[in-house]
Structure formats: C-alpha cells, structure tokens
Amino acid sequence: MPDTASPSPGVHYLCIEPDRAGQRLDNFLFGQLKGVPKSRIYRIIRDGQVRVNRRRVRQTYRLQAGDQVRIPPVRVSTPQSQPAPGEGLASRLAEALLYRDERLLVYDKPAGLAVHGGSGISRGLIETLRALHPQEQALELVHRLDRDTSGCIMVTRHRGFLRRLQRLMQAGGVEKRYWMLCHGNPDGEQVIEAPLRKDSRGGERIVRVARDGKQARTRFRLLERLGSFSLVEGILDTGRTHQIRVHAAWAGFPLLGDAKYGPESGAAPGLPDRRLYLHARSLRFRHPDSGEQLALEAPLDEVFAEALKAGRESIDG
C-alpha cells in the first residue's frame, strides 16, 4: 500500500520532561515523528532545522530536563504504510528473549537483523518490538550491535531506568564479552589500547586507528586454536563504533567474514556460511533497581556453532 501523509504541522517546541533526560536526540525524534523516514530526521538535524535551546546540536546529543526542542514541519506517513511484522520474525524474537522484568528485556539478537531502521532498512529490532507490543510505550535500545553481529542486546521498558543503566555502562559497571572467529593465531592474552576515529571511504562509514581519535581499549583472550583460525574472546572497556572489529584487525587477527576490515578472502575455506563471526556472548552487571547480580549468556547460533565444529574437525582429522 502506498504511503499517505498527514498535513504538515507548523514549527513547534517541546520541553523535555525529567523522564526523558539522557535520551539521544535522534531517538527522541524517532518517537515524536513516527512515519518520517530516519534519513529525513537525520537530515533536518544536520541542516539545523531541529534545535535545542536555540542551538544546533548533533544527533547524539543527550537531552536534559528543561531543554527546549524546536521541531520543524515535516510530512508524517500514516501508520498503515508500515506492514505488521511477519509471524516468523515474531516467533523468532519470542524464542530469543533471554531475560525479562518490569524494567528490562534482554534478547539474543539474530545475525542479519539491524537494531533499528535506516539506510534502506524500514524496520529493525526496536521498531519490530514496538509494533509487536504497542502497549509498551517506552521501549528503547540501551546500546547497539552491528547488523551482522548476533547476541545479547538490552532494551528498557522505562525511560528512567534507561538513564540509570546507561550511567552504569558509562561507569564501567556492565561487562560485555564477545566471542569471535579470527584469522590466524593471536597471543594468549593481550590488551589493545588504540584511539579510534570515524572516517569515510567512498561514501562508506569506516573507523580507523588514529592518534587524534577517541580513547578505546579492548581485552582479547585466545580461547581455542582451530588450524588457520581461532576462537577469541573480547571484552570491551570502552564502547566505540566497530571497536572490536577494528582493534582485532589492527592487531593482526581480523574477524572471519568481515568484509569491511578483514582480508578480501572473507571467511575461512570450508566454513558453513559467509557471515561476520562476531557474537555478543554475555552481559554481567548489577541490576540498578533490585541490586541483583545478573549474568546473562546468549548461545551460539547454528551457523556459528557449525563453523566452530568444522574448525575442530579440521585439526582432529
């Protein structure tokens, strides 16, 4: 069904309530301008049509209580333009739920599913969850995973809890462990501290190690040698874009299937599928409300498990 649009409202201003404090500007606008393509929202931010306290800000700006947000007139598509999630995806996400309480949901995100829409993707994980659970008025991503990365992803059900959990992450109170298959055989344990800077290459966003970049630190540990490749664990001490992939490649053991930062050959020969072999294996943190120590683990999906099995068989046989 073709999109239709409601009449464009005039410029209006919104005052940020305390329960919205800490939310990113782009995420706030996604909720306010439902039906507007994300590319359009990012454009009006870049163009300065959206302002906070009369100032231009970046889409990553975190709103504060009392901020005055200027929203320009935009065309808003009607809700029927967005089809309902398919039963297959709905069932898959129901099975992928690792943890649930009144404030928090943790899912085992499938590889290939973006966490949010944009750049040609009409709907990601968060939009799908909002469509499946319309009674949930405050679903928000706590952090992000690349589209091709599988594993643990947190979604909050309350905006105040989102702020508390993000503060905990910023203070280093959330341990995120990743499992990855890498080319070569890295040393047993190593710490990579190399600043990262966002850049572009032929219109594509990439991240590079650069002296003028932002501080970034990753801990790597060899778990298992599998012939020409290895199973490696990575722990993020900072949370930069593509950090684990760039640090691994820079240190000499790029991830299998990483077309952006790895060798052109991609995955190792004989593996069951060509995908990015990166999995957010576990989360460990103290629940900001209950004080309970949570240790959540996402199992390896079938493709990753088969690759691991193939690697073990190659050295046994």
| Domain identity same for 159 and 179 | no
Whether 84 maps to a domain, the answer reads no
Whether 258 maps to a domain, the answer reads yes
Q: State pLDDT tens for residues 51-93.
A: 999 999 999 999 988 899 999 988 655 444 445 556 677 888 8
Whether 81 maps to a domain, the answer reads no
| Domain identity same for 148 and 212 | no
Q: Which of 101, 135, 167 is the last residue of a domain?
A: 167
Name the average pLDDT for the chain.
86
Q: What is the pTM of this model?
A: 0.76
Residue 70 and residue 232: Cα distance in Å, rounded?
Answer: 47
Pairing of strands 278-286, 150-156: parallel
Long-range contacts of 252-257 (CB under 8 A, 24+ apart): 252/184, 252/186, 253/182, 253/183, 253/184, 253/185, 253/186, 254/182, 254/183, 255/180, 255/181, 255/182, 255/183, 256/180, 256/181, 256/182, 256/183, 256/229, 256/307, 257/148, 257/181
Whether 243 maps to a domain, the answer reads yes
| Domain identity same for 160 and 177 | no
Q: Give me the torsion for CA of 196, 168, 17, 125, rounded to 10°.
A: 70
Query: Given this model, what pLDDT does residue 272 score?
Result: 65
Q: Which of 136, 167, 198 is the last residue of a domain?
A: 167
| Domain identity same for 309 and 176 | yes
| Domain identity same for 157 and 174 | no
Query: Given this model, what pLDDT does residue 121 score?
Result: 63
65 neighbors 18 (Cβ within 8 angstroms): yes
Query: Given this model, what pLDDT does residue 2 score?
Result: 40
| pLDDT exceeds 50 at position 277 | yes
Region 112-128 average pLDDT: 79
Region 268-278 average pLDDT: 76
Region 177-190 average pLDDT: 92
Whether 141 maps to a domain, the answer reads yes
| Domain identity same for 221 and 251 | yes
| Domain identity same for 177 and 303 | yes
Report the number of distinct structural domains present in the chain.
3
| Domain identity same for 191 and 130 | no
| Domain identity same for 156 and 208 | no
| Domain identity same for 211 and 298 | yes
| Domain identity same for 281 and 185 | yes
Range name among 100-104, 164-168, 199-203, 293-297 with the lowest pLDDT average: 199-203
Q: Which of 150, 167, 184 is the last residue of a domain?
A: 167
Please give the positions annotated as active site.
146
| Domain identity same for 108 and 62 | no
CATH number, domain with residue 56:
3.10.290.10
CATH number, domain with residue 247:
3.30.2350.10
Q: State pLDDT tens for residues 200-249.
A: 777 778 999 999 999 999 999 999 999 889 999 999 999 899 999 999 99
| pLDDT exceeds 80 at position 155 | yes
Whether 185 maps to a domain, the answer reads yes
Whether 210 maps to a domain, the answer reads yes
Domain that holds residue 51: 7-73
**Is 311 or 193 the better-scoring residue by pLDDT?**
193
Query: Given this model, what pLDDT does residue 1 score?
Result: 39
Residue 130 and residue 147: Cα distance in Å, rounded?
Answer: 18
Whether 85 maps to a domain, the answer reads no
